Structure 1
């Protein structure tokens, strides 16, 4: 009922939504503990939507629940369609700082909007509690002289809520054997406070029905008074269309984030698409019973989880209890204090505000996302909740694109290492020493000990590692960096690769007339390039065309056909794209190296001990008699296709292949 008032709807609509949420959601859900129903953040957003739509729909000024019902049906259809088409993964595009920003901003907005009701000055002429948060805060002090007896009710109720929570938390730590008992006492604090102040209200106002001493709910209709087919027409849709994106984001994000959180805590998995279908069905059928949009509730879900709920059928039990309340308790609801309800709302949304510890973690992990968090919060406070959502999501998307576009590649070198339980020097020729090559950035930017100097590849050979996907936003950034460094460390094979002076590009920064003295003879000529694609999941047409252009540019620079080797091409689409672009295989005789392994064609003997590693060029890593099979039982197979000699399984193979092809040692 408190959330319904927060949504600018009569209190009974909160009961209707609570019933529909638990009665329908469980039928198709994958989480057994989620409790669907009205929630604070969406209720506050619904209030904003109604405030935006009612001036365009004056005929619904006295029946705003019709607009809420239409919105619920539309949101339900959209969310269910997202689930049916299996595109629920779009939720993952909204990062945690953006979610935390709009939750924190919403909590501040809701709490500030309820303080006037808590203090009793919300009825002052000219005080708009639906304005931007900073305006509500400023006007509160302007109208503070209008505070009345409601302040005593609200402040003491709020104090009691926090006192009970603190006391139960302390008692749980002091007497851990009774932790579960104190947990349930803590979860019942809101109901206890409402009952206590309802009793006080009854004793004070039972003889003052027409003029109560402080604000109360008054008449709550018994039963489902607003059942029927929801009204869905083009006028309502056009009035709420501008707010639909923010409503969808809040509805989906709040539900999926809660479902995933409790799934991790309870060690089970959920299907996000199925969850969206379930919440979509809930919102489609909700308005038939008088409900407004519902989604997963964190507090009610936590209670169900702690209560030991094991199946979704618990929703039926909850629905029965809500129906009993709808039909049997309306006379009791009459005396509920509005100030006490405001205290419950403020207390509930206080947990949605990100803790200083979480905000500090944002700063430590990613200062950019720390800024995004505050952008979302400030826009929510100084504008509106929906604008705060848009701002944080847009800023997060911009940061993602910037990170992709400005991804950095690294030139790498080789370091010979071995594993040892001590820091004593080990002779690589010792039988127990296991030496191997690792390839690390030459600038040691990945945390390698600064005292370790990686050995650069052979003169004229470069190994370049791409640390992100190679796509059109970052293709030029990658290749420009690579070409620039290659030209710094090598010399052109010919002085004027353009032929005549007239063929030289107008933007060539070199001197007009080049000579041998302009070139450092100690620098090598470019001979081969090895690209580490182990961090690349996909490529596209634009990026591959850029790679083709760079190959032509470097071929002209070296006055030769440069060999391009690729390591760790994982995606079949990336492999296909590279082959279609002329990479990976070459015409003519190619001296290359292949990684092969022995594969048994008959059952191995019981005393077989597997080899320690694969073999290169059919050189066994273990003597054949230790393999537990005869030579007739094995055959040598390459790990990768021999039709693509420039695709390599690891960096060692690529380097040795270049050495073999160029005659290096």
Structure 2
């Protein structure tokens, strides 16, 4: 066992500032100085600024073709193979035609390649964002607005072409508004906003979103047509409606779904079990899409069994159009929610890969890059995007090292849109739904969080459950608001009700630990050492004083307040400390502060805490310094007391 001995003088705050030479003149630059600094311009500074806002200008000229080109090409091809089925499948979640999922897998990917800072994430369609977009397109463009009228009577049928065209306008405007929010947040350096979305909140929210996604796809699997519901409990109403329509299930579509689902699950399990032996994952989604399209076409399943298929997929690219900003007022709340959720998913994936490969992801630039992807994509008939975990993992595992892999995947998607897209018109929608189901496996596995959180942290478990329940019952947008509010309340709750404890010394050491937790920690006679588990501020300052009084501090002469856990103070904290010094001073108890950080000392000085009644000499560097000072002081008092008593006795004897 290693031992060491530390020998130094006892340091209070006055002596510490003298020994360590604390600089009290440090002040930050003024606003004017900051503006002048930002206004300075030079060629080097201009180049750095442009490269910071457009990162491709920095890394593309240095791109090592020999080392990265092959890996990025293979990776891009692999991701493009996933973009095709996922893009079409997730477009159905957004209540759009599948071709718009292909557009969304093209333009935003190219934009992110130019402005993004992550080398490995794959931008494009994602289930959670798609279902959130779908809730908006269906709310603002319901079927009831497109019932075909015939004179005074209605035929009861929906003008699908008009409805779909209108929903595309909604989705484009929504994508633009989401992009505007993200760009503005990035410009004002608001990337830290994602810190308020804790991991239990995000995982609970995405799990609940997976349930919403699953329910939305049941209508394609069973071939039924449930009514559309919105607002609280809409998910419950939808499930009940689907269950009531189960007797009208289209058996052929159910059979197609079961077969496709079985094949997808089996092959994906094989991919997982033999991932190290396979040169690349089997592209089973693409295989199923091609096989289902061929079988449906040549067996004439649409004609014989009325199976619902994708339908017309126009070849070629659509001309860019300006989104209709008239929709903005009806979708502000939803757009902000999607902006935050999309960014949270994007930055969490980006930081994961950055940590693994040793590079840095700029959180604010990621907001701008994602915002530009959404805003520009909205002008090219794309809906909102974020990164996809499944595609990002494939991009990384197949050798992708830069966003050039995204360029390669975009080129292949472009070829599909221009030349091959029309070949998938006979693809059953039920097959796309099964692809969505299988890709939700990772999100449903997050239910295992409950067991882990039960063992580790009950408050985080409560955040997960409240997030999941509120999102299920209240819908995606309101659920997110309730979840964030509840999560912030738990932070306040934890700081408002901290743990208060008395500390004792471990014999023979300078360690002071909680007497309730450590058996060897013994209180020092006549001295109480009091500590709060969190910082002291206005929400808990009064309780701090009450706890100190309730703990019982009679028959002692000194109290040490350990402030090592305090990172900031406010005016209420200062008033509370003054009251403690005053109240306990009236009963001849000395109060000492210990473990104060430099920033706390500065705040005390600004608040004029230190006076003749509360001198800096009663603030010590550590608890042990304060204890040694008190013991030496008491020893001196006792020695003086004995001397005084002896003198008085001698005077009495002399008399």
Pairwise CA distance, 1:585: 6.3
Pairwise CA distance, 1:587: 6.9
Q: Hey, what does 2:140 align to over in structure 1?
A: 53
Inter-partner Cα distance in structure 2 for 1:55 and 1:165:
36
- TM-score w.r.t. the length of structure 1 is 0.75
Q: More helix by proportion, 1 or 2?
A: 2
Q: Hey, what does 1:217 align to over in structure 2?
A: 310
* Higher RCO (Cα < 8 Å, 6 or more apart): 2
SS where residue 216 of structure 1 aligns? coil
SS where residue 184 of structure 1 aligns? coil
Pairwise CA distance, 1:29: 1.6
Equivalent residues of 1:105, 1:377 under 8 A apart: yes
Q: Hey, what does 1:425 align to over in structure 2?
A: none
Structure 1 residues 16-95: aligned runs within 5 Å = 16-54=103-141, 61=163, 62-95=165-198
1:457 correspondence with 2:524: yes
**What does the per-residue CA deviation read over 1:143-162, in whole Å, with 9 as the maximum and x for residues that have no partner?**
11222211111111011110
Inter-partner Cα distance in structure 2 for 1:155 and 1:97:
33
Equivalent residues of 1:91, 1:253 under 8 A apart: yes
CA 323–110 in structure 1, closer or farther in 2 if over 3 Å, else same: same
Instruction: Pick from 308, 324, 328 the counterpart of residue 237 of structure 1.
Output: 328
**What does the per-residue CA deviation read over 1:78-101, in whole Å, with 9 as the maximum and x for residues that have no partner?**
212222222211211211111111
Pairwise CA distance, 1:279: 0.5
Equivalent residues of 1:565, 1:654 under 8 A apart: yes
- Report the number of matched residues: 531
SS where residue 311 of structure 2 aligns? coil
SS where residue 299 of structure 2 aligns? helix
Q: Hey, what does 1:652 align to over in structure 2?
A: 624
Q: Hey, what does 1:139 align to over in structure 2?
A: 241
Q: Hey, what does 1:270 align to over in structure 2?
A: 361
Pairwise CA distance, 1:563: 4.2
Coordinate RMSD, CA, aligned: 2.6
Inter-partner Cα distance in structure 2 for 1:221 and 1:474:
64
Inter-partner Cα distance in structure 2 for 1:57 and 1:20:
32
Inter-partner Cα distance in structure 2 for 1:20 and 1:472:
50
CA 274–94 in structure 1, closer or farther in 2 if over 3 Å, else same: same
Q: Hey, what does 1:608 align to over in structure 2?
A: none
Inter-partner Cα distance in structure 2 for 1:286 and 1:571:
49
Instruction: Pick from 591, 595, 598 the counterpart of residue 564 of structure 1.
Output: 591
Equivalent residues of 1:23, 1:315 under 8 A apart: yes
Q: Hey, what does 1:193 align to over in structure 2?
A: 288
Inter-partner Cα distance in structure 1 for 2:571 and 2:192:
25
CA 414–79 in structure 1, closer or farther in 2 if over 3 Å, else same: same
Pairwise CA distance, 1:377: 2.0
- Mark the runs of 5 or more structure 1 residues left unpaired by the alignment: 418-435, 491-522, 591-643
- TM-score w.r.t. the length of structure 2 is 0.76
SS where residue 499 of structure 2 aligns? coil
1:441 correspondence with 2:514: yes
SS where residue 507 of structure 2 aligns? strand
Equivalent residues of 2:141, 2:166 under 8 A apart: no
Structure 1 residues 498-517: aligned runs within 5 Å = none
1:153 correspondence with 2:256: yes
Equivalent residues of 1:584, 1:645 under 8 A apart: no
1:202 correspondence with 2:297: yes
CA 480–412 in structure 1, closer or farther in 2 if over 3 Å, else same: same
Structure 1 residues 338-417: aligned runs within 5 Å = 338-417=429-508
Q: Hey, what does 2:220 align to over in structure 1?
A: 117
SS where residue 511 of structure 2 aligns? strand
CA 50–194 in structure 1, closer or farther in 2 if over 3 Å, else same: same
Inter-partner Cα distance in structure 2 for 1:357 and 1:56:
38
SS where residue 437 of structure 1 aligns? coil
Q: Hey, what does 1:544 align to over in structure 2?
A: 574
Instruction: Pick from 550, 553, 572 the counterpart of residue 489 of structure 1.
Output: 553
Equivalent residues of 1:228, 1:289 under 8 A apart: yes
Inter-partner Cα distance in structure 1 for 2:621 and 2:451:
42
Instruction: Pick from 318, 326, 329 the counterpart of residue 409 of structure 2.
Output: 318
Inter-partner Cα distance in structure 2 for 1:481 and 1:568:
20
Q: Hey, what does 1:534 align to over in structure 2?
A: 564
**What does the per-residue CA deviation read over 1:120-160, in whole Å, with 9 as the maximum and x for residues that have no partner?**
123xxx54487833333222231112222111111110111
Deviates more, 1:19-28 or 1:134-143: 134-143
Q: Hey, what does 1:553 align to over in structure 2?
A: 583
Pairwise CA distance, 1:408: 1.8
Q: Hey, what does 2:91 align to over in structure 1?
A: 4
- Mark the runs of 5 or more structure 2 residues left unpaired by the alignment: 1-87, 147-161, 639-655
Pairwise CA distance, 1:267: 4.0
Inter-partner Cα distance in structure 2 for 1:555 and 1:52:
67
Inter-partner Cα distance in structure 1 for 2:143 and 2:625:
70
Equivalent residues of 2:119, 2:403 under 8 A apart: yes
Instruction: Pick from 163, 173, 188 the counterpart of residue 266 of structure 2.
Output: 163
Pairwise CA distance, 1:442: 2.1
Pairwise CA distance, 1:414: 0.8
Inter-partner Cα distance in structure 2 for 1:21 and 1:212:
38
